[in-house]
Amino acid sequence: MSDQDEIEKVAQKFKLICNEEISDIEDQLPYALNPIEKDFMLKQIDALNEIADQANERAEEIVAEYYRNRQKQKRSDDETDKN
> Structure pTM?
0.70
Q: How far is CA 48 from CA 14, 51, 53, 73, in A?
A: 10, 5, 9, 33
Query: Given a cut of 70, is residue 75 above it in pLDDT?
Result: yes
Helices marked H in 1-83: 3-28, 35-53, 55-82
Over residues 11-36, the pLDDT tens digits come to: 899 899 999 999 999 999 999 999 99
Q: Rounded mean pLDDT of 53-77?
A: 85
What is the structure's pLDDT at 83?
59
More confident residue, 28 or 52: 28
